[in-house]
Amino acid sequence: MDPSLITGVILAGGRGSRMGGVDKGLQPYRGVPLALHTLMRLSPQVGEVMINANRNLAAYESFGVPVWPDADADFAGPLSGFLVGLERAETPWVVTVPCDTPDFPDDLVARLAQALEAGNAEIAMVRAPDSEDPQGTPRPQPVFCLMHGTLMESLVKFVHDGGRKIDRWTAQHRCAMVDFTEPAAFFNANTLNELRQLELGRG
């Protein structure tokens, strides 16, 4: 799959409740806002990038890519960002990444695309060890999701019917799971303390 056919969506629209209500994507990570760090990591892997944010839009717009808030005031979590991407992208494929997991692999999108095509799937999703699980048990990481643009109608219906769980929606479609072995690559900073730990090389 040609990267130019994929739009990357950085999910920065959350409420940051576990981080004290701050705008998570604008918190500094190694001297750079988390969302900007994510943007720099994602941009080489895709054709276009946009940011889904609901606060401080001017700050996000300063990163130089389109910024779109949730279309629906009824907060649907990450799926709101999925919808923004599917509605706004001009490419046939959309890939989502959260703003709070800045060290995801440089070949993330390529591996998702390869698995999707090999399995004739509509969606490809990361499966990786949970950094908080001492056993390192692999589990789906559904916010890292590559999907076809034609799924928008399905997602609109799912959210309209009250659906909020990504995996319950993806279960309705042909979904390829892509195994990654490095838990540190998918460590997400939910609190300011975890963000500091991440800077110090936890994972």
Question: 188 versus 16: which is more confidently predicted?
Answer: 188
Q: Which CATH class is domain 3-198?
A: alpha beta
All structural domains of the chain with their residue ranges = 3-198
- C-alpha to C-alpha distance for 21 and 1, rounded to whole angstroms: 38
Q: Over the stretch 89-122, which tens digit does the pLDDT of each residue have?
A: 999 999 999 999 999 999 999 999 999 999 999 9
For residue 19, pLDDT beyond 60: no
Mean pLDDT to the nearest integer, 170-184? 91
Map residue 85 onto helix, strand or coil.
Answer: helix
Q: Over the stretch 49-89, which tens digit does the pLDDT of each residue have?
A: 999 999 999 999 999 999 999 987 666 789 999 999 999 99
For residue 199, pLDDT beyond 90: no
Predicted TM-score of the model (pTM): 0.92
- C-alpha to C-alpha distance for 70 and 44, rounded to whole angstroms: 25
Nearest-CA neighbor of 170 among 202, 147, 197?
147
126 φ, ψ (degrees, to nearest 5): -75, 140
